[in-house]
Amino acid sequence: MAEDLLLYDPDGRSLLDDHALRILIALHQESLTAQTIATRYRVPIAACYRRLRRLVSLALISEAGFVTEGRRRPARLYKSEVDRFQITYGRGQMHLHLLLRNGIEANAIVGIPPDVEVSGIAPPPPHEVGEYPSA
| Res 3: pLDDT | 41
Please say whether the beta carbons of 105 and 59 come within 8 A: no
Give the sign of the dihedral formed by CA 11, CA 98, CA 54, CA 17: negative
pLDDT of 77 strictly over 60: yes
Domains recognised in the chain with CATH numbers: 4-110 (1.10.10.10)
How far is 41 from 21, CA to CA, in rounded Å? 10
pLDDT of 97 strictly over 70: yes
pLDDT of 100 strictly over 90: no
pLDDT of 19 strictly over 70: yes
pLDDT of 65 strictly over 60: yes
How far is 93 from 90, CA to CA, in rounded Å? 5
| Res 37: pLDDT | 94
